[in-house]
Amino acid sequence: RKEVEQDPGPFNVPEGATVAFNCTYSNSASQSFFWYRQDCRKEPKLLMSVYSSGNEDGRFTAQLNRASQYISLLIRDSKLSDSATYLCVVNYRGGGYNKLIFGAGTRLAVHP
Amino acid sequence: GAVVSQHPSWVICKSGTSVKIECRSLDFQATTMFWYRQFPKQSLMLMATSNEGSKATYEQGVEKDKFLINHASLTLSTLTVTSAHPEDSSFYICSARDPAGGPSSYNEQFFGPGTRLTVL
């Protein structure tokens, strides 16, 4: 089983749509959670951290359910510029490690 | 945010040659840098954690003699792919943490723009 699992997509949505991405992680000792965005042939860039209380940044809302080991990202009012791959990322600290584990990403394509 | 650069951005080499990739933190000192590899349509896979002044920590399955890491200063880590073969063709990305960024950024990593390696 992969440590971080995501639906690979692609999600093809029209502009203005609301789209939700899900992610599950296997290591209950994971401590921090993030969503990164990666454009084609580019490095990943931090979109937002994810907190247990849920957090919002403009059109983006992230949720974390530690009991279910489940993370979500909601994008409202999709823009063409939102087209990218969204990576669910978990930070694991333990056994002398402090490292990020990446999901394979969910691809989003927003069309006019 | 903190800036990380990589050089070169792309490289094409013949099979059997060695390739060195540099990763620099431009506006902060990084005691720890990370090297990732990403194959097409796959996730970033951590190869190794580079520690300034000490040996790198390699992930399981990554050959330390093939992927040489040197972290000689607080702003520079290098990855050398020795005797590269076509299967080593990939997107190599480094990242670094800014230890002075405070508790809220403790786990955040800043990524370089990546190096695309093609081995013929």
Q: Which residue of B has its CA nearest to A45?
A: B111
- Cβ-nearest to B108 among A43, A46, A99: A46
Q: pLDDT by residue (tens digit) across B8-62?
A: 999 999 999 999 999 999 988 888 899 999 998 888 999 999 988 888 999 999 9
A55-90 b/e with 16+ CB inside 10 Å = b? eeeeebbbbbeeeebebbbebeebeeebbbbbbbbb
Work out the minimum CA distance from A21 to partner chain B, whole angstroms. Answer: 16
Alpha carbons B59 and B57: distance in angstroms, whole number: 7
Q: pLDDT by residue (tens digit) across A43-95?
A: 999 999 998 888 999 999 999 999 999 999 999 999 999 999 999 999 887 76
Cis ω for the linkage preceding A44 (within 30 of 0): no
Flag if B44 and A87 touch (Cβ within 8 Å).
yes
pLDDT at A109: 97
Flag if B43 and A100 touch (Cβ within 8 Å).
no
Confidence bin at A38 (pLDDT 50/70/90): very high
Is residue A102 over pLDDT 90?
Answer: yes
pLDDT at B16: 96
Residue of A5, A43, A87 for testing the chain B interface, max B β-carbons within 10 Å: A43
CB B88 within 8 A of CB B17: no
Flag if A103 and B108 touch (Cβ within 8 Å).
no
Which residues of B are less than 8 Å from A7 in CB distance?
none
Flag if B109 and A100 touch (Cβ within 8 Å).
yes
Which residues of A are less than 8 Å from B7 in CB distance?
none
